[in-house]
Structure 1
Amino acid sequence: MRLSQSWRIMKIFKRILLVILICGIGLFAYSYYRFSQDHQEALSVLESGSMIASSEVGPIEYIMKGSEGPIVLFLHGMPGGYDQAPDNLPGYRLLAPSRPGYLRTPLDAGETPAQQAELYIALLDELGIEEVIVLGVSGGGPSALEFAANFPDRTDALIMMEAISQRFPNNGEISSLMTSDYLYWSMFKTLLGTQGVEGMASMQIPNLEQREDVLSNPQKSKRFENLLWSVWPGSLRENGWVNDLHQVNILSIPPMVTVPTLIIHGSDDSTVPVEHSIQLAEQIPHAMLHVIDGASHLMPLTHERQVRDLMTEFLSGNSN
């Protein structure tokens, strides 16, 4: 009797396990189907949103925004791509390449910051552009410095924004969560579904006043969400990210920068310490340094107006 009862319990237990397994497989299949749709759409949007220039140095992906005004060469951080460029800079045209190893610009087009600067010059030549304002953001800082130092005749002015400019020790390791397209998508969708943009903001913007300012502004809130998505798909950015981590680990300061230079950094930046910009201001004669009190690495979003005002004032007196 006891054996018969135990057998029945075991049989029921196995059936329950089978149902759980089938449901799990079904949920995973549905999840992966949704992922495949989003992934394909992302690839299509990225490819259709940019152009490829066949320069003398190598192919380079880029976009051009705006119809008139001086040209700003926007050099994105890590991980990044042309898609991290601002939507617009009123009064300026924006030229935003994908740095080598990111999206459709191959890594062998330029691994070192100096080689990347050569690639940008080749892009300008290909597009018939004589001079640009160079804007290096975060991990785009090293190649921005090389460009301004080695090609002053092609540099109208240099802006370094929360940028890496000194040696940046790191172990070169990247979490598989960031480079696995499915894992990042799954995590992000889950967090958005359970916590919403508000929950994501609480993790990324610790300052309550700054967080409320972003969340209360629909445009800023959407830009924040887009920024979190802009590192995805990670598989298209991994080569550039790994290379960048290596390059900043052995970074050396380029020759003297002589062009007008504006340096902006947040005092509470935990990603790129503000000391980078403080030291850089000492290394570049007559550089203008502005440390924004309380700003983090999301400074371009949380302190957008202050950053724009600083840039506008600087460029009005230092660009052609």
Structure 2
Amino acid sequence: MRRPLTHGDDEERATDVVELAQGTVEYRLQHRGRATVIVFYGGHMRAGLALGEDVFADADCSVLVPSRPGYGRTPVSTGRSATGFADVTAALCGRLGIAKVAAVVGVSGGGPTAVAMAARHPEIVERLILQSAVGPLPWPDRRTRLGAQVIFGPVRERATWALVRALLVRAPDTALRLLLRELTTLPAAEVVAGLRPEDRARLTALFSRMRSGHGFVNDLRDLKAGPGPRLPLADVTQPSLVIASRRDGAVPFTHAQALAAGLEHAELLESSANSHFIWFGDDWPTVATQIRGFLSADPASAS
């Protein structure tokens, strides 16, 4: 059941599978310190992939990453909605003996699940961190939705990602420009040219390992009318840190603003990153320092 364990954001990591009353869940649990952080990744990501987790390792936090419904080895039937999978993850914590988590982190399309878990399980969650996250506004637009259903639907997604991998090998710069085109408000060529060699290599490796499974179409279905009233922002009482870039072409900065306005104890941290990927921005070290400070602060001080 276990996959080979490797290191670095650009490599596949070991995962396990557990059978819960609500269904099968794939997850990765990396033990470090006593505090644990749960990370809900967004589209095309699963538990075996990692992005920006260095900040939690540096804070000596253990990391729990479940594959959301339809991704990896978690079937789409396991907690199909954001609220449903929040409850599944609470049950997973119980199975793993995790009574408290220092923070639940929602990345991109994983944002609604993180918000739901903070709202529905405050006895477990001490803080909420949202990174380039989908908020209470309609998302995505109709053109993007229809195109994604065709390209990343369960029937075609395998062929789509095989083509992506082939292009990344044969013409990596061209591939990165195509992949980043919808993820930035800037010209994609400018964003690619501005990447440091090590970040270009990490991003290329990450894209080459992505898959959509049944998960991405399920995400689009769940958010069809926009998270809106289904996103229980008013029920989140924990301190929250919302991080986003105005140059994000995938999830507009207005989502971050709406999240910060709707959460009772929220701080909005603007990244200067050139795309959806805040972890590759020049100011990521500064952002990471603020995340570590947020994790070490007393959560009771926000109430």
For normalisation by structure 1, the TM-score amounts to 0.76
* 1:110-133 per-position Cα deviation (integer Å, ceiling 9, x unaligned): 111111110000100000001111
CA contact (8 A) 1:74 1:85 kept: no
Q: 1:215 aligns with which of 196, 213, 221?
A: 196
- Find the counterpart in structure 2 of residue 267 from structure 1: 246
C-alpha spacing 1:293/1:47, structure 2 compared with 1 (3 Å): closer
* 1:147-171 per-position Cα deviation (integer Å, ceiling 9, x unaligned): 0011111101100111001132544
Q: Distance in 1 between matches of 2:204 and 2:68?
A: 23
Cα deviation, residue 177, structure 1: 4.3
Identity of aligned residues (%): 27
Q: Which SS does the other structure have where 1:291 is aligned?
A: strand
Q: 1:145 aligns with which of 115, 120, 127?
A: 115
Q: 1:226 aligns with which of 175, 195, 205?
A: 205
Q: Distance in 2 between matches of 1:228 and 1:310?
A: 27
Uncovered stretches (5+) of structure 1, i.e. residues with no partner: 1-41
Alignment of 1:1-320 (within 5 A): 49-86=14-51, 88=54, 89-90=57-58, 91-132=60-101, 133-166=103-136, 167-171=138-142, 172-173=145-146, 174=148, 176-178=150-152, 179-193=156-170, 195-196=171-172, 198-203=173-178, 204=180, 206=187, 211-212=192-193, 214-217=195-198, 220-232=199-211, 234=212, 237=213, 239-250=214-225, 251=227, 252-254=230-232, 255-303=234-282, 304-318=284-298
Residue type matched to 1:253 in 2?
A: L
Uncovered stretches (5+) of structure 2, i.e. residues with no partner: none
Q: Distance in 1 between matches of 2:86 and 2:92?
A: 10
CA RMSD of aligned residues (A): 2.8
Cα deviation, residue 274, structure 1: 0.7
Residue type matched to 1:126 in 2?
A: R
Q: Distance in 2 between matches of 1:292 and 1:62?
A: 29
Q: Provide the aligned length of Structure 1 versus Structure 2.
A: 270
